[in-house]
Chains A and B, each alone.
Chain A
C-alpha cells in the first residue's frame, strides 16, 4: 500500500462506497467530499451523500507506463467519469473491451484491489469502473 495508512483508512468511505457530499443550497454533489461548497461558500449547507454507482465516460486515456505499484497492470485505461448526479471522478476502467471504452459509454462501479505491492503489508481496496454491457 502506498502512502500513510491512517490517511488511507480515513478514505475508506470514499474508496469503498463513493461517500461524498451535497450542497442543499445550490444542489451540487461533490466527490470527494468538500469542506466548503465552492459555489455558495459560507451560505452553502453540505450534507453527506453516497454517489450513484453508474456514470458516463467524459474522457479517457490508455496508460502504457503506470506509476509504482501499477507496473504489472499496463496497458490499462483511466477515465474521467460523470456520475448520474453530475459529480466527476477519475477511475481505472477494468473488465471492458477496448473498443467499448469511448466518450459517452455508460460505466458502473466495481470493487477491486487498488494497491497490493507489499506481500506483508495492508491491501488497499476501492472503486474502479467497468463498461455496462
Chain B
C-alpha cells in the first residue's frame, strides 16, 4: 500500500507583518492580527514564483526519499498561481529535478487543495498494477497567493509550497496512508475568472457553508470509515486560511490544542493556499515518532476537502530533515509594503 517516502517544504525568506499591511490602509493592525491569529506572512522574492518554490520543495523531498529524480513516474503540481495559464509547471519541475522524460505530469487546480488531490492520484498510481513501471509519484502544493490590495485576504495570502513523494516499498515508507476520503460540492465561496488578476470571495459566506462544512464533512466521513475518534489521533492538521479557523474546526471535531499545535503554521507564515495543510503536515512529520496517527484535512474553495489518516513508521526517525519546518520559518527578513508591492508585481507601471 502506498505511503509517504519523502517530503519537502519551501518557504521564501521575505516576511511582511499584518501590522505593516494595515498601516498602509489605515486599519488597526493589532486587532486584525489578533482576530486572524496571523502575525506575518511569507512573500516570494521578485525572482520567485509557484514554479521555483515547487522545484525547491521537490528537491528537498527527493533528497529525503533517497531516490533519484528519474525514478519518479508521476509529478503533479497543484496551485492556483501557476506561472502560465497554458504550459505546465510540472514539466519544468520534472526537468529541474532530473525526472524527465519517462513520467506522466500535469498541473492541477482546486483552489487550496489541488496538492492533496495530487497526493491521492499518486497513491492510486503507485498502488495500481498498471502502469507496472511506475514506482514513485510526487505531488506538490505551491502558491504565491494573490490578495487584492486593501482586501481582507491581503493580510494572509502568502507564498510557500510542499512536496510529497509516494512509494510502496515498506523499507522506504516513513508514513503509511491508511485511508483517504473526500467531500466535494459546488460552493461559490471564492473564485478567480480567466484573465482576472485577483480572486474574489463571498465574505462571511466563506466560513460556515464553505470551509467548516467541507472540512467537518471530510473529517467526520474519514473517521467513520476507519472507525476512529478524535482521541485516537496523536496529531491533526487542517487547512489554514487564517490562524483562527483551524482552531475553531478542531474544537468542533473534539481535537485539543495539543493535537493541532505542531501543524499550525499559518500564524507564522500566512496562508500558503495549496501549500497550507501540506506544510502543516510536514511540520507534524518533523516531530512525529513511530506509530503516531495523524488526521490531515485540506480544503479548497469551490469547494472540497481531502482527508487522510496517516500512521508513521520506524523509518521516520532515520529520515529526519536536518532543518525542521519551524526552523525554516526562522530564516526570514522583514520587508515593508513598498518592497512587498514590488516583489509581488503589484506596481502596474513596472
Contact = CB atoms under 8 A, between A and B. Distances in A.
Contact of A111 (B52, B84, B342): B52
Contacts of B46: 72-73
B318 to A, nearest CB: 23
State the main secondary structure of chain B at its contact with A. loop
B350 A125 contact: no
A112 interface: yes
Contact of A95 (B13, B83, B87): B13
B121 to A, nearest CB: 24
Given A72-B350, A111-B56, A94 B96 contact: no
Interface string A2-36: 00000000001100110000000000000000000
Contacts of A12: 95
Nearest to B342: A72
A111 B47 contact: no
Interface residues of B, number: 22
Given A72-B342, A125-B92, A113 B331 contact: no
B47 A73 contact: yes
Interface in B55-103: 55-56, 59, 83-84, 87, 92, 95-98
Interface string A96-115: 00000000000000111110
Contacts of B331: 133
B36 interface: no
Contact of A128 (B47, B55, B97): B47
Contacts of A48: none
A6 to B, nearest CB: 16
B56 A110 contact: yes
A126 to B, nearest CB: 9
Interface in A31-68: 50
B49 interface: yes
A55 to B, nearest CB: 17
Interface in B34-62: 45-49, 51-52, 55-56, 59
A114 B87 CA distance: 18
Closest 5 A/B residue pairs (Cβ) = A111-B55, A16-B96, A113-B47, A112-B47, A95-B13
Given A112-B48, A116-B47, A125-B92, 13 more contacts: A12-B95, A16-B96, A72-B46, A72-B342, A95-B13, A111-B56, A111-B96, A112-B52, A113-B48, A113-B49, A123-B51, A125-B96, A133-B331
Interface of A: 12-13, 16-17, 50, 72-73, 94-95, 110-114, 116, 122-123, 125, 128, 133
20 contacts: A13-B95, A17-B96, A17-B98, A72-B350, A73-B46, A73-B47, A94-B45, A95-B45, A110-B52, A110-B56, A111-B52, A112-B52, A113-B47, A113-B48, A123-B49, A123-B83, A125-B51, A125-B52, A125-B92, A133-B331
